[in-house]
Structure 1
C-alpha cells in the first residue's frame, strides 16, 4: 500500500493508503499529500546526493563538467529527488528520455 502511494505521489499531489485488517481485523485508511511525504522523507532524499558527490570526488570531476544527468532506478521518478538533483547540478535539465528502470541496460 505504501509503495503504491509512493508511486502515485510521483504523478499526483495526494494518495490514499488502504490496508485491510491491519490489526485485529481493523482496516486502515489514510491520505497523504506529496508535501507531507516529502517532509517525512527529506533525510532520505538528502542522502541520495551523497553517492553523487562521492562519485564526482572519486572521479576528480566538477559537477559543471557533467554534460548529461541520466536517472537510474524507480525512486528517481519522485519529483523532489528530481528537483534536488537538478538544483545540485546548477539547474541543468535532467535527461528523462531513458526509462530509469532500463537505464543500466542501456549502459547509462
Structure 2
C-alpha cells in the first residue's frame, strides 16, 4: 500500500500573529501550535543560550526587548529609506540598521552581535508553523500557500516566498488575504 501524500498547508503570515491550516476531509482545519493555540505570535527572541519562537519569545520580551524581534512583516522586502520603515523604527526596542539600502536586524545571540535579514526571522516563524503542522498531520510537509496583504509589492511577495523556501517549504503560491478569505467562503 502506498503512503498517502502529505497535503499542502496554508499559512496566514500576519503582522502580529500567524496561523497554519490544512484542507482535509472536506474542510479547513486550523492547526494548534505546541502551546495549544491556533495562532502563533510572530516573535523571535535571542538569548545567551537559545532562540525562542512564538509564545516563549513574546513572554520574555519585557526582560529582553533589544533581542526580541517582532513586526518583521513591516520590514520584509522594503528599503531602509522607506517612510514606513523609518516611522516604524521609532517604536521598536530592537535595532534596525541600513545594510546596502536594506533594513537589517541586529541582535546579541550567544554573546555575539548578529545581523539578520527580516526574511530570516520570518523563516524561523514559518519553520515553527511547519513543524506544528507536521506534528499534527504525522507527515513531513513540503508544500505550502502563504497569504500576504493585497498591498504587498513584488519585492515583499518575493521576500515572503524566499522566507518560506528557507523554512524548507515549496511555495505553491503567494495569495492576497482578501482572496484567501473569499476562497474560504466558497
Higher helix share: 1
TM-score, length basis structure 1: 0.49
